[in-house]
Structure 1
Amino acid sequence: MDVQKITPLLGGMSPARFMRSHWHKKPLLVRQAIPGFEAPIPRAALFELASRDGVESRLIQQRKSGWSLKHGPFQRRALPPLGTREWTLLVQGVDLHDAAGRALLDEFRFVPEARLDDLMISYATDGGGVGPHFDSYDVFLLQAHGKRRWRIGRQRDPSLVEGMPVKILANFEPEEEYVLEPGDMLYLPPRWAHDGIAEGECMTYSIGFRSAQRDELARETLLRIADALGEADASPIYRDPRQEAVEAPGRVPLALQEFAREGVLRALAKSQVLERALGEALTEPKGNVWFDPPSDEPDLRQLGVTLDRRSRMMYDERHVYLNGESYLASGRDATLMRRLADQRQLSARELGKASEEALSLLESWFDDGWLRALPPA
């Protein structure tokens, strides 16, 4: 992707300029970010997705008695009639289940893959919404069908309405208001409060980004480091030939504490152990993701390959990471694998530069369902 190229998606800015001036800083309203946009996933297809096991969906309704929240899957008869006002269906991770959803998500890959999360679709009847709230992550709100009125503001009071199944701001303070039509888009940085109300039937596509907490990321990486230690060669055994007799046997010896501390520090100090664990954690598929083995055996060298839409692939200086696994890579093969992570596909011509070892690895990924063959030209 050319990050210096001006694009309508960002209101006539380049991705480089957008990231400097708006990302994590201030909102941006873009009229006709995608001119003439028509929802690639219509209402019927969205309802069908919401009926599946393994697809995360929620139904939110606003009633006189307050807000209600139900979790899917939902058969069509379990959803309110289309003529009923003020209900919203949220379907998460649409990019995992629909090729058009994945293609739309790829338009935002000027942000590192490690931060890109998923595409959520919100369907609402007239007056529907999820109430004023704020998110801890960046989000692009692309209007796909109908109209939605957005009120936004820098929320100084984060207190919530008590006793609600959804997080509703108690004292929402809007500063700006916009009505979005199909193709319009609103970018919001973290913690910008917003309230979107459907004006008639509408659908909004939300492109969201990961914002892991530091402790959460530390826990994930430390768990993987601990697993790797279990596979390591024999390490020193604690010895205490000078241990004296004690009158307080319940006290943990200081020497044993230091021995354990040294073990942890040595593990973290090993070359690339932290980087490797982080890369594996960042590419680990979500719990509801599974891969289908191929039904045929095409000649990948003649066709080229593309990552399955559910695959997550990244790299660093020494490794490539795919779906929670890490692989050492160097030289021409490393360049090729990094290109696959960046482009999400490799042509037959590009595969012609791969070593036999790299081709064998790609074929094993294909057998696992992590890769697909490109269609014939």
Structure 2
Amino acid sequence: MKKLPLLGGLTPQQFLQEYWHKKPLLIRQAIPGFKPLLAKEELVAMAARDDVESRLVTHFGSRWQLHKGPFAQLPPFHKKAWTTLIQGVNLHHDGANALMQQFRFIPDARLDDLMISYATDTGGVGPHFDSYDVFLLQAYGQRLWRIGPQKDLTLVEGLPVKILQNFKAEQEFLLEPGDMLYLPPHYAHDGIAVGECMTYSIGFRTPSFQELGEGFLQFMAESIELPGRYADPDLPVTSKPAEINNAMLSRVAETLRKIKFTDDDVAIFLGEYLSELKPTVFFDPPARSTSLSRFLQLADKRGVQLSRKTRMLYRGRHVFINGESFVAGGADRRPLVKLADRRQLAPEDVANASKDVRETLHAWHEDGWISLRKPG
């Protein structure tokens, strides 16, 4: 897919400086003449799969309901006021994946997925806010967006969906196919389908510090070493047998303070954490195994590319792929960094890579993490 304008004349740098994490931006005809990449029947088929995360939100008779997929059957298309949300479409469809790659002026460590929302007339998920930045691209039909910088984030109690209790819209926009709306985190919005419509949401990862902290402690638990065992050879007789005494508390605290971590520890944790895949993601290895020599023969002619599902990052000499990490220095690092940034390697890059890298590429190919580029 050729590079798209996307930002309505703004450069990525201007967008990041003026709007990112700060204020909304409506971009008329961000992608002129845009056509939906999947028909609604294809979305229904995806919603039936157990390796695809999907939800159904209905608002029949003024009653909100939420159901999680997979769905053997969805409501009929002629019935109003329902929405199906298909998460991670970029993992399963080349066109959706190519579209999401257009947003890589934002680092991969922040880019999450492309979700498709299909709604019948008046369908939506109610006024709400997201904790992450989002681009809302209208793919088909019309959707009316009502937005506002909501301060009161109180939710209606007792509902299966998170709906703002006191939503007040300050602006309204009717989006046509190709139009796109950017919203920063916690900016309240309510999207209502005007007739049948599809909206593509490009969302970003914003893990909470609590989540990161818990994950880091689990990560560090595998690497800390505290030799020895608690001992108290000078233990006095106690008149308070149930009390934890000061000496015990001090010794344990002193030992725990020996636990240290470095920037390298944080980098390795973050790379593994951010490249880790969701539990619903599975790879399809090649139907037939390819020997190392045959693979290299083909890769030297065609090059390789990352699978749609593969997440690959790097930091310094550390390379991360699908939750795993390893150190790559010198000549080994160059082709791997290029693969991560470009998500593909040209034939000459494969041919010039070291023996270790070439063997690693073969192993990833056998796991389904990379594939040979298509001829031509």
Asked if Structure 1 and Structure 2 have the same fold, meaning a TM-score greater than 0.5 normalized by the shorter chain, the answer is: yes
Residues 249 and 371 of structure 1, relative CA distance in 2, 3 Å threshold: farther
Q: Give the corresponding residue for 1:220.
A: 215
Counterpart of 1:364?
A: 363
Deviation at 1:317, TM superposition (A): 1.4
Please give the residue correspondences for 1:337-376 in structure 2 after superposition, counting only pairs within 5 Å.
Answer: 337-376=336-375
- Determine the structure 1 residue equivalent to 2:304: 305
Query: Which runs of structure 2 are paired with 1:227-238 in the superposition (5 Å)?
Result: 227-229=222-224, 235-238=227-230
What is the identity, as a one-letter code, of the residue corresponding to 2:317?
R
**Structure 1: 5+ residue stretches without partners:** none
Please give the alpha-carbon distance, in whole angstroms, between the structure 1 residues aligned to 2:115 and 2:198: 10
Aligned length: 367
Q: 1:245 to 1:317 in 2, by over 3 A?
A: farther
- Letter of the structure 2 residue corresponding to residue 157 of structure 1: D
Question: Is this contact kept in 2: 1:147–1:199, CA < 8 A?
Answer: yes
1:165 alignment partner in structure 2: 160
Secondary structure at the aligned position of 1:10 is classed as coil
Amino acid at match of 1:201: E
1:14-53 → structure 2 map (5 Å cutoff): 14-53=11-50
Alpha-carbon RMSD across the aligned residues, in angstroms, is 1.9
**Alpha-carbon distance in structure 2 between the residues aligned to 1:142 and 1:65:** 27
CA contact (8 A) 1:150 1:194 kept: yes
Match of 1:180 among 163, 175, 182: 175
125-134 or 160-169, which deviates more: 160-169
Aligned to 2:285: 293
Confirm or deny: 8 A CA contact 1:267 1:273 kept in the other structure: no
Deviation larger for 162-171 or 271-280: 271-280
> Match for 1:278 among 250, 270, 283?
270
Q: Normalising by structure 2, report the TM-score.
A: 0.92
Would you say the 8 A contact 2:51–2:282 is kept in 1? no
Q: Which amino acid in 1 is paired with 2:204?
A: F
Residues in 2 aligned to 1:319 and 1:168: alpha-carbon distance in whole angstroms: 42
Q: How far 1:258 moved relative to its partner?
A: 4.9
Q: Distance in 1 between matches of 2:237 and 2:98?
A: 69
1:157 Cα deviation after fit: 1.4
Please state if 1:208 is matched with 2:200.
Answer: no
Q: Which of the residues 229, 242, 248 maps onto 2:240?
A: 248
Pick closer, same or farther for the CA change 1:169–1:326 going to 2, 3 Å. same
Tell me what 2:6 maps to: 9
Question: Within 2, Cα distance between the matches of 1:235 and 1:225?
Answer: 16
The range that moved more, 291-300 or 92-101, is: 291-300
Superposition deviation, residue 253 in structure 1: 5.0
Cα distance in 1 between the residues matched to 2:314 and 2:122? 45
- Conserved? CA contact 2:55–2:86, under 8 Å: yes
AA at the equivalent of 2:49: R
Q: Does 1:74 align with 2:74?
A: no
Q: Which has the larger displacement, 200-209 or 7-16?
A: 7-16
The SS at the match of 1:20 is: helix
1:172 Cα shift? 1.0
How far does residue 267 in structure 1 lie from its aligned partner after superposition?
4.1
| CA-CA distance at 1:263 after TM superposition | 5.3
2:56: which partner in 1?
59
**Residue by residue, what CA displacement relative to the aligned partner does 1:241-295 show, whole Å, maximum 9, x if unpaired?**
3333434344445555455555555443356222212211111110111112122
SS in structure 1 opposite 2:223?
helix
Residue 228 of structure 1 aligns to a residue whose secondary structure is coil
- Alpha-carbon contact 1:142-1:186 (below 8 Å) kept: yes
Partners of 2:50 and 2:341 in 1: CA distance: 31
Separation in 1 of the partners of 2:339 and 2:268? 19
Determine if the alignment matches structure 1 residue 190 to structure 2 residue 189: no
CA distance in 1, matches of 2:268, 2:282: 23
Distance 1:38 1:300 in 2: 34
Deviation at 1:68, TM superposition (A): 1.2
Q: Provide, for residues 124-165 of structure 1, a one-character-per-residue CA deviation record: whole Å limited to 9, x for no partner.
A: 111111111111100000000011111110112111222211
Deviation at 1:321, TM superposition (A): 0.5
Distance in 1 (alpha carbons) for counterparts of 2:316 and 2:248: 36
Q: Which amino acid aligns with 1:321?
A: F
Residue equivalent to 2:324: 325
C-alpha distance 326-196 of structure 1, shift in aligned 2 (>3 A): same
2:98 counterpart SS class: helix
The DSSP-based 3-state class of the residue aligned with 1:272 is helix
How far residue 65 of structure 1 moved from its aligned partner, in angstroms, is: 4.2
- What is the alpha-carbon distance in structure 2 between the residues aligned to residue 337 and residue 261 of structure 1? 43
| Structure 2 CA distance for partners of 1:356 and 1:247, relative to 1, 3 Å | farther
SS in 1 for 2:206: coil
> How far apart are the structure 1 equivalents of 2:321 and 2:90?
17
Letter in 2 for 1:129: G
